[in-house]
Amino acid sequence: MTIAEVSKKFGLSPDTLRYYERIGLIPSVNRNEGGIRDYTEEDCKWIEFIKCMRSAGIQVKTLIEYITLLQQGDETIEARKQILVEQRDKLLFRIEEMNRVLERLNFKIVEYETKLIPAENKLKRLAQHLVYEKTTCCVISSSRARGSAKVWANIGPNFGLRETEK
């Protein structure tokens, strides 16, 4: 596989793949006659492993240490296991933190759904009620010259005015 194909397959940029090779996270990739990298299934397994470990939050420095130990052989099995146990514990801690954050987000969403959204909807209905209900608001003005009181009534949604005698 070419670097472009591997890049697409794993969602890593070609620069990242070259970097991983340069720092020793993946073994040196064979090259074809033209000098172009030719990734094997074994190379792809390494890339998949590195990508998985990086997704778990394991730092490049720790991965280099792990791979260096791996290359030293079976006498490093316990040290490699210890690295994995430490990384698992760190990951579990981050998962617990994320679960706490998730609980808080869920709480806030429920608050919106049970309190804020109903309150907003109530305000919207009240505003519509005030605009559309056929209520009568009266303003009484007195006219001494005529000796009568006039009532101006606002009726209907268009607030049309009409004069009434009282």
Report how far apart, in Å, the C-alpha atoms of 51 and of each of 5, 46, 108, 113, 118 are. Answer: 16, 8, 34, 39, 45
pLDDT reported for residue 130:
75
The H-or-E segment that residue 118 falls in is helix 117-132
pLDDT reported for residue 152:
46
β-pairing verdict for 148-155 and 137-143: antiparallel
Provide the whole-model pTM. Answer: 0.61
Helix axes 60-72, 77-111, angle to 10 degrees: 150
pLDDT reported for residue 133:
55
pLDDT reported for residue 132:
59
Task: Identify the segments of the chain with pLDDT beneath 50.
Answer: 134-136, 138-145, 147-158, 161-163, 165-166
Domains of the chain in start order, with CATH, are 3-91 (1.10.1660.10), 134-165 (no CATH)
pLDDT reported for residue 122:
84
pLDDT reported for residue 131:
66
The number of beta carbons lying within 10 Å of the beta carbon of residue 32 is: 9
